């Protein structure tokens, strides 16, 4: 179990409480393993600071007496060592979630920690590609490598990102049992959340073309997309293929695999798609996450307005 070993500066009781909370988040909240590791890192850093700050081993007793000034001291240290506002807000959120959980079980008052305000930061808007740039990106992958099957593979992966709104991990998680691609795919996304995704005809055709050219046998439980030696395809190879393509097209560094997913959502919204449907297609747990695409659409509209109606 992650975090089950006693940590330096933490009492066995507190270390055990942290391990049980991480298991709770994994089992009941459905948090992904990357999220669990981030939680563990955030909490260990926070608790290690409090142990030094309080001048002794951090346990459940000292934890219950953390004050608002203690919280401010921790946040000041984090900012002082270069932690950005966004990262600090994420760490604070993990601390609050753990603190709420442990306070309910230990029966102490959590107000000082829970009332700590997160630092303000400007949310970064997604950076989608224009529709013609997204299509050009896919088409240009055909010229990036000498081996035709690898070019077909890269085009198939990126077509799935753009045409179905998949994360790269979701596309590379497809197996031989998923082909021939059906009209809809059941995708298991972050936190084990399932969603049904329509598969457009160009995506089915791109995958079929790749399979006809691939030199590696397709196995029901094996990866659909293979590397040159037959192993599971690394996300980094798709990232590199897009790096080469965007250099040739003169696109910015934001033209990444994840930008294709952003482009899928933004172009659907521009075409009249409603937010709830887009939320379901993307697998967002919160509608507020999907709503960032309305800001993107508005920003693009204002850019067009500024270009066509220049100020005197």
Residue 105 annotated in active site: no
Question: Which residue of the set 53, 96, 127, 258 is catalytic?
Answer: 258
Please spell the DSSP secondary structure of 204-272, one letter per residue.
HHHHHHHHHH-SSPP-TTSBSSB-TTSSBPPHHHHHHHHHHHHHHHT--TT-SHHHHHHHHHHHHHHTT
Residue 81 annotated in active site: no
User: 291: closest CA among 307, 269, 271, 308?
Assistant: 269
Extract the runs of DSSP E, i.e. beta strands, from 91-193. 184-188
Residue 24 annotated in active site: no
Residue 167 annotated in active site: yes
Question: Which residue of the set 190, 216, 244, 300 is catalytic?
Answer: 190
Strand partners, 196: 186
Looking at residue 144, what DSSP letter applies?
Answer: S
Residue 79 annotated in active site: no
Three-point CA angle 259, 240, 224, nearest 5°:
80
User: 45: closest CA among 12, 3, 108, 101?
Assistant: 3
Looking at residue 107, what DSSP letter applies?
Answer: T
The residue count of the chain comes to 312
Contact residues for 271 (Cβ-Cβ < 8 A; gap 6+) = none
Question: Which residue of the set 167, 226, 246, 267 is catalytic?
Answer: 167
Contact residues for 161 (Cβ-Cβ < 8 A; gap 6+) = 167, 168, 171, 257, 258, 260, 261, 264
Give the Å distances, CA to CA, from 19 to 6, 14, 25, 59, 194.
9, 9, 10, 14, 27
Distance CA 174, CA 196 (A): 14
**If phi over 0 gives left and psi between -120 and 50 gives alpha, with beta otherwise, what is residue 256?**
beta
Residue 190 annotated in active site: yes
* Catalytic residue annotation: 167, 190, 258, 261, 284, 293
């Amino acid at each position: 179990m992650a975090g089950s070993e006693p940590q330096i500066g933490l009492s066995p009781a507190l270390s055990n409480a942290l391990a049980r909370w991480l298991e709770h988040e994994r089992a009941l909240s459905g948090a992904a393993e990357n999220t669990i590791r981030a939680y563990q890192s955030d909490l260990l850093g926070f608790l290690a600071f409090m142990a030094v700050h309080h001048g002794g081993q951090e346990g459940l007793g000292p934890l219950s007496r953390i004050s608002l000034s203690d919280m401010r001291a921790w946040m000041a240290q984090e900012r002082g060592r270069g932690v950005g506002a966004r990262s600090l807000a994420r760490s604070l959120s993990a601390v609050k979630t753990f603190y709420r959980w442990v306070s309910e079980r230990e029966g102490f008052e959590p107000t000082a920690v829970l009332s700590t305000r997160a630092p303000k930061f400007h949310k970064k808007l997604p950076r989608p590609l224009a529709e013609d740039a997204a299509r050009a990106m896919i088409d240009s992958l055909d010229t990036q490598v000498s081996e035709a099957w690898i070019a077909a593979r890269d085009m198939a992966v990126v077509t799935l990102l753009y045409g179905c709104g998949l994360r790269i991990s979701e596309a590379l998680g497809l197996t031989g049992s998923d082909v021939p691609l059906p009209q809809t795919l059941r995708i298991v996304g972050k936190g084990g959340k399932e969603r049904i995704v329509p598969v457009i005809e160009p995506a089915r055709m791109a995958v079929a073309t790749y399979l006809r050219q691939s030199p590696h046998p397709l196995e029901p439980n094996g990866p659909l997309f293979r590397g040159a030696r037959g192993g599971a395809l690394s996300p980094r190879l798709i990232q590199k293929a897009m790096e080469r393509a965007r250099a040739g097209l003169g696109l910015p560094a934001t033209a990444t695999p994840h930008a294709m997913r952003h482009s899928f959502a933004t172009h659907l919204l521009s075409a009249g798609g409603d937010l709830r449907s887009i939320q379901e297609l993307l697998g967002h747990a919160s509608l507020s996450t999907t709503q960032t695409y309305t800001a993107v659409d508005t920003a693009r509209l204002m850019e067009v307005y500024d270009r066509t109606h220049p100020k005197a």
